[in-house]
Amino acid sequence: MPRFKRILLKLSGEVLMGEGGLAIDPAVTARVAGEIADAKAKGYELCVVVGGGNIFRGLAAAAKGFERATADYMGMLATVMNALAVQNALEQIGIDTRVQSAIPMASVCEPFIRRRAERHLEKGRVVIFAAGVGSPFFTTDSGAALRAAELKCDALFKGTSVDGVYDADPKKVPGAKRYESISYDRVLADNLKVMDASAIALCRENDIPIVVFNIREPGNLAAVLAGEGVSTTVRNEQETVNAGL
């Protein structure tokens, strides 16, 4: 796996949940912050996007009768809460951070300004992007892909509860095959549940590799960044062929 310098880490909101059903578990959030701190200590520039599914999932609410745009805005506000929780956990262990929101809320965090975000990264701060793209009908996956493109990130790392991309749901299909490397086009054609299609397409257009790994395993972020550990890399066709898929 190539060495990356600047990465965007996309975390699902569910990653912050604990065993007791807490939407944001302080102990779990502290462990995730430790993962980010370990990676930063190795010299990586890090920006983070956290989903909001542990608090409110707009698409699910819309399916139950909420007006879609309203539900999506509520989901965006949930991501701001998660971003502040991660910021708090990072700063408690001495990591300088900034939260930037696509929906302006000056009393809570900065508005998203690309040049300011770049400056924060250059100064060694972890930048946490909240509120998706600031518009309904887009997921936080799309927000992560957009920010990765805007900040010229070398890769987008998606931390989930599975250790890569499979040809079927490994929780339901015991013999599901995990890919070491797979192309963007194959992910889209086979409708593999990596990220939503618009996020995959945006990464493909900007040649941003997507690395899918299990963030719940302690020390895994730093290990995968170093080319160790278990993960799947989604990248362009030629690179996939060269990797021996």
Mean pLDDT across 185-192: 95
Residue type, 77: L
Is the model's pLDDT at 223 over the cut of 70?
yes
Mean pLDDT across 127-134: 98
Domains within the chain, CATH numbers bracketed: 6-242 (3.40.1160.10)
Phi-psi label, residue 243: left if phi above 0, alpha if psi -120 to 50, beta otherwise: alpha
Confidence category of residue 238, pLDDT binned at 50, 70, 90:
low
Is the model's pLDDT at 80 over the cut of 90?
yes
| Environment class of 8 (CB within 10 Å of its CB; exposed 0-12, middle 13-18, buried 19+) | buried
Residues 6+ apart with CB under 8 A from 145: 156, 195, 198, 199, 200, 202, 203, 208
Instruction: Using a pLDDT cut of 90, give the percent of the chain over it.
Output: 82
pLDDT: is 2 or 75 the higher one?
75
Mean pLDDT score across all residues of the chain: 93
Is the model's pLDDT at 140 over the cut of 60?
yes
Is the model's pLDDT at 25 over the cut of 60?
yes
pLDDT: is 212 or 172 the higher one?
212
Residues 6+ apart with CB under 8 A from 86: 11, 16, 29, 32, 33, 36, 48, 50, 97, 128
Is the model's pLDDT at 245 over the cut of 90?
no
Residue 94 phi/psi, 5-degree rounding, is 85, 15
Mean pLDDT across 74-89: 97
Confidence category of residue 229, pLDDT binned at 50, 70, 90:
confident
pLDDT: is 31 or 242 the higher one?
31
Is the model's pLDDT at 101 over the cut of 70?
yes
pLDDT at 243: 52
Mean pLDDT across 110-139: 97
pLDDT at 85: 98
Confidence category of residue 1, pLDDT binned at 50, 70, 90:
very low
pTM above 0.85, yes or no: yes
pLDDT: is 235 or 59 the higher one?
235
Is the model's pLDDT at 73 over the cut of 90?
yes
Mean pLDDT across 228-242: 80
